[in-house]
């Protein structure tokens, strides 16, 4: 059995891994794990990732969780072009810096914005208090400002002149609030231009394919009661 | 000017960077940044890190933030023993996996435990309700269980038979609630044994030196009103 990637393209980190593997022609078996059906809670999947999260990787006997770890593993094993995770000491440090920073900032605010603005009302049938949503969107706005001022600056890509895994991780995050109807690129021409460059580098078709699921999330039928009960505990934390 | 490390040993990630640099004989100038005096908010420090956080590194013209990025940079630049961040593909991936996972889990819960139990009441003069504290300590407990079950398991160190960056990051986190008076190792003999091994690998003297400040955190003199007002918004954002 070759490389297996356990993914749900609803999830931002799954999209980053998917795009990276496809763009670099890395052969893999896609193992779909449907989050909205609670499939990540199954005993079978717990064998792959006891943390019950996607993305997860299985390569023979070796299993691996955490999108950043998976991206770095794939970039090393498959010897992809240098720009994805450059050998140069300082260039690589810039990528590491972004990948570390984003966990508690952009990832957190993008996930919460998407769930509070869209998934909770549409899928779970529950409105989040207005003040909570306002606060979350303000937090997202702050993170976007930091993304522009501290990371992108006047560069073409987040960590320098070439696309890297940092850009993949970031763009897939930003598509989360986009899918919820947040116009995050509207008043941010610098960020919008960077998004165009990333899409061009990835390839429009692959980019669209990777984002088809999340962009249709607003049309999801409401969850039935049993699914709601199953998902609510793990989703509660996103609605605060 | 050689390597400069901007640190406050009150901070867990600063301790990990300090221990790593000292243990590996990496020559550096220590630039103390006293968080409790608000020194991280100064204009001077913003030149080093516009995000106003520690640790930060300056190497000539090159500045770098994020402890994970700093540790990896030092690891590569100074050619330290392999076990800290192994060349082996899978061993390295295990370290990456831990370093990614810990941001939103152990780091977050250790930080909250210290602030809810000690720093809010003692340093900022803000009471914390018993329910809030109990909830925080329960979350910490759940994370410690994951640390044992998913990462440590029956190994000598978190990612294998030898100490790595993952162990440094983890142990310095756990000393945060220890500094707050939480008995995190009591009732957890596996974790306690691992702690002994890490301390031995780091060296008892260096370990104690790095943790002197945090172990006296509960004796922090109360912040004056000006400092309190300056620090509060950022503290509240930090422990979310």
> Which of A93, A95, A138, A149 has the most B C-beta neighbours within 10 Å, making it the best mutation to test the interface with B?
A93
Residues B164 and B149 in one domain: yes
CB neighbour list of residue B64: distance below 8 Å, 6 or more residues apart:
A93, A97, B56, B57, B58, B70, B73
Nearest CA to A45 out of A7, A13, A73, A1 is that of A7
Residues B39 and B153 in one domain: no
How many separate domains does chain B show? Answer: 2
Residues B27 and B142 in one domain: no
Residues B66 and B40 in one domain: yes
Residues B57 and B77 in one domain: yes
Task: Give the Cα-Cα-Cα angle A108, B182, B115 (nearest 5 degrees).
Answer: 45
> Which of A49, A66, A76 has the most B C-beta neighbours within 10 Å, making it the best mutation to test the interface with B?
A66
Residues B113 and B103 in one domain: yes
As a whole number of angstroms, the distance between CA B208 and CA B215 comes to 9
Residues B112 and B122 in one domain: yes
Residues B57 and B134 in one domain: no
Of B82, B114, B145, the last residue of a domain is B82
The band of B135, judged by pLDDT with boundaries at 50, 70 and 90, is very high
Domain CATH number, residue B67: 3.40.30.10
Would you say residue B1 has pLDDT above 90? no
- The 3-state DSSP class for residue B159 equals coil
Residue A63 C-alpha, separation from nearest chain B C-alpha, in angstroms: 9
Spell out which residues of chain A touch residue B104, defining contact as CB-CB under 8 Å.
Answer: 103-104, 108
> Which of B47, B53, B54, B66 has the most A C-beta neighbours within 10 Å, making it the best mutation to test the interface with A?
B66
Of B32, B59, B82, the last residue of a domain is B82
Residues B72 and B91 in one domain: no
Cross-strand bridge partners of residue A62: A59
Domain CATH number, residue B206: 1.20.1050.10
- From the list B66, B100, B149, the residue facing A69 with the nearest CB is B100
**pTM passes above 0.95:** yes
The range of the structural domain enclosing residue B60 comes to 3-82
**Does the distance separating the beta carbons of A67 and B100 come in below 8 Å?**
yes
**pLDDT score of A41:** 92
Instruction: For chain A, 240 residues long, give each residue's pLDDT as a single digit of tens.
Output: 799 999 999 999 999 999 999 999 999 999 999 999 999 999 999 999 999 999 999 999 999 999 999 999 999 999 999 999 999 999 999 999 999 999 999 999 999 999 999 999 999 999 999 999 999 999 999 999 999 999 999 999 999 999 999 999 999 999 999 999 999 999 999 999 999 999 999 999 999 999 999 999 999 999 999 999 888 888 888 988
Of B18, B47, B82, the last residue of a domain is B82
Residues B134 and B106 in one domain: yes
Residue A157 C-alpha, separation from nearest chain B C-alpha, in angstroms: 17
Q: Is the CB of residue A112 less than 8 Å from the CB of residue A136?
A: yes
- What does the pLDDT look like over B18-75, one tens digit per residue? 999 999 999 999 999 999 999 999 999 999 999 999 999 999 999 999 999 999 999 9
Residues B148 and B179 in one domain: yes
**pLDDT score of A230:** 87
CA distances from A8 to A1, A11, A17, A50, B214 (A): 21, 6, 11, 17, 42
Contacts 24+ apart (CB under 8 A), B146-155: B146/A51, B146/B105, B147/B106, B147/B191, B148/B188, B148/B190, B148/B191, B149/A50, B150/A50, B150/A51, B151/B98, B151/B101, B152/B190, B152/B191, B152/B194
- From the list B50, B68, B97, the residue facing A66 with the nearest CB is B97
- What does the pLDDT look like over A48-93, one tens digit per residue? 999 999 999 999 999 999 999 999 999 999 999 999 999 999 999 9
Residues B73 and B104 in one domain: no
């Amino acid at each position: 059995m070759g490389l297996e990637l356990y993914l749900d393209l609803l999830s931002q980190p799954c999209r980053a891994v998917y795009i990276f593997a496809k763009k670099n022609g890395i052969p893999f078996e896609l193992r779909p794990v449907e989050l909205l059906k609670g499939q990540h809670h199954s005993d079978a999947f717990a064998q792959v990732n006891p943390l019950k999260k996607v993305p997860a990787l299985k390569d023979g006997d070796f299993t691996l969780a955490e999108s950043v770890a998976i991206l770095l593993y794939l970039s090393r094993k498959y010897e992809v072009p240098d720009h994805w995770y450059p050998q140069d000491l300082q260039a690589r440090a810039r990528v590491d810096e972004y990948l570390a920073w984003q966990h508690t900032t952009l990832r957190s605010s993008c996930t919460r914005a998407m769930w509070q603005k869209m998934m909770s009302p549409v899928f779970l049938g529950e409105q989040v208090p207005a003040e909570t949503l306002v606060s979350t969107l303000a937090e997202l706005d702050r993170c976007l400002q930091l993304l522009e001022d501290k990371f992108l600056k006047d560069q073409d890509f987040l960590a320098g002149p070439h696309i890297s895994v940092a850009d993949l991780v970031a763009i897939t995050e930003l598509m989360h609030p986009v899918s919820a109807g947040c116009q995050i690129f509207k008043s941010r021409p610098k960020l919008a231009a960077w998004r165009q460059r990333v899409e061009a580098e990835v390839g429009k078709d692959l980019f669209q394919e990777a984002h088809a699921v999340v962009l249709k999330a607003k049309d999801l039928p409401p969850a039935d009661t049993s699914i709601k009960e199953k998902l609510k505990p793990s989703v509660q934390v996103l609605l605060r | 000017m050689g390597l400069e490390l901007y640190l406050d040993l009150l901070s867990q990630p600063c301790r990990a960077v300090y221990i790593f640099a000292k243990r590996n004989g990496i020559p550096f100038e220590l630039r103390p940044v006293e968080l409790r005096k608000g020194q991280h908010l100064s204009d001077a420090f913003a030149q080093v890190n516009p995000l106003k956080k520690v640790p930060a590194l300056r190497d000539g013209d090159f500045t770098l933030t994020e402890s994970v990025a700093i540790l990896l940079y030092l690891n590569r630049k100074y050619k330290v023993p392999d076990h800290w961040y192994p060349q082996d593909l899978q061993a390295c991936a295990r370290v990456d996996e831990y370093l990614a996972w810990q941001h939103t889990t152990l780091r977050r819960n250790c930080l909250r435990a210290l602030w809810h139990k000690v720093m809010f009441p003692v340093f900022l003069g803000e009471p914390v309700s018993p329910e809030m504290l109990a909830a925080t300590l329960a979350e910490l407990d759940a994370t410690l269980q994951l640390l044992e079950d998913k990462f440590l398991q029956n190994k000598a160190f978190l990612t294998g038979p030898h100490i790595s960056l993952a162990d440094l990051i983890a142990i310095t986190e756990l000393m945060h609630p220890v500094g707050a008076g939480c008995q995190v190792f009591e009732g957890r003999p596996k974790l306690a044994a691992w702690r002994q091994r890490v301390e031995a690998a780091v060296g008892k003297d260096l370990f104690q030196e790095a943790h002197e400040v945090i172990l006296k955190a509960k004796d922090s003199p109360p912040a004056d009103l000006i400092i309190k007002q300056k620090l509060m918004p950022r503290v509240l954002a930090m422990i979310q």
